[in-house]
Amino acid sequence: MAKINSLLTVAAVLLFVPARGVELGPEVRAKAEKVQAALRTIETEARRMSPGQRSMTFSEAEFNAWIAFRLDEEKEPYVKSAEFKLLADDKVEGRILLVLGRSPAGGLLSERQDLVFSAGFEAREGRIRIGLDSLFLGTQKLSPSVIDLIIGVVSRLQGAEPTSIRDWYDLPPGVEKLRTQPGRLVVIY
């Protein structure tokens, strides 16, 4: 679970974060459960076969529902919603709503901030690395080094070894790699 939480830490700042603060209705829960069930199947089947032999494809709506479900489970304190657009060639765009609390950064930032980004990723051998193409907090362009700083601070606050956006992170058990197509996520196991 620590490896998944490590990925979720990066995800909360970047890409594969679940959305919280949104009421999970029956339709969202059904889509999320489809992905959860598939991940359980992948973990079981991966033990019986060579890696990279099979794949499952999920729609953007199913992926976003699973993300919402996971954040709801993790009780992520700052990420209140997340929406992702899956593009071709392992690219993604997204918007994450951060709620930082009262008077964050001495009043320099407002309580609610949109983190908007585009990124590519590389996934292989059960691990993923994210490469930011662009990142904005509201209308202010940010450097990926800011994300590294945030990840380091969050890691220390959680008592974990500091990590970097350039690090490789574990995918869910049994998942060998990920690929994106417009509106689709392909999970290879």
pLDDT score of 76: 74
pLDDT score of 7: 42
Look up tokens 């209705």; give the residue.
25
Residues above pLDDT 90, as percent of the chain? 49
Lowest mean pLDDT among 13-27, 60-74, 121-135, 143-157: 13-27
pLDDT score of 74: 83
What distance in Å separates the CA atoms of residue 111 and residue 153, rounded to the nearest whole number?
19
- Contact between residue 4 and residue 128 where contact means Cβ atoms under 8 Å apart: no
- Contact between residue 66 and residue 74 where contact means Cβ atoms under 8 Å apart: no
Domain ranges of the chain: 2-188
pLDDT score of 72: 86
Residues above pLDDT 70, as percent of the chain? 83
93 half-sphere exposure, CB direction, 13 A CA radius: 7
Q: Which two tokens stand for residue 153?
A: 């601070």
- Whether 119 shows a pLDDT value over 80: the answer reads yes
* DSSP run (H or E) holding 130: strand 127-137
What distance in Å separates the CA atoms of residue 47 and residue 164, rounded to the nearest whole number?
30
- Whether 87 shows a pLDDT value over 80: the answer reads yes
What distance in Å separates the CA atoms of residue 49 and residue 189, rounded to the nearest whole number?
9
Residue of 154 and 179 predicted with greater confidence: 179
pLDDT score of 11: 47
Confidence of residue 20 (pLDDT cuts 50, 70, 90): very low
Q: Which residues of 127-158 are buried (b: 16+ CB within 10 A; e: fewer)?
A: bbbbebeebebeeeebebeebbebbeebbeee
Could you tell me which of 8, 20, 21 has the C-alpha nearest to residue 158? 8
Could you tell me which of 6, 34, 47, 5 has the C-alpha nearest to residue 176? 47
Q: Per residue in 122-168, pLDDT tens?
A: 999 999 999 999 999 889 999 888 878 877 787 787 778 777 878 89
Whole-number mean pLDDT of the chain? 83
pLDDT score of 5: 43
What distance in Å separates the CA atoms of residue 84 and residue 41, rounded to the nearest whole number?
24
Strands 55-59 and 184-188: antiparallel
What distance in Å separates the CA atoms of residue 90 and residue 93, rounded to the nearest whole number?
11
Residue of 20 and 70 predicted with greater confidence: 70
Look up tokens 């990066």; give the residue.
10
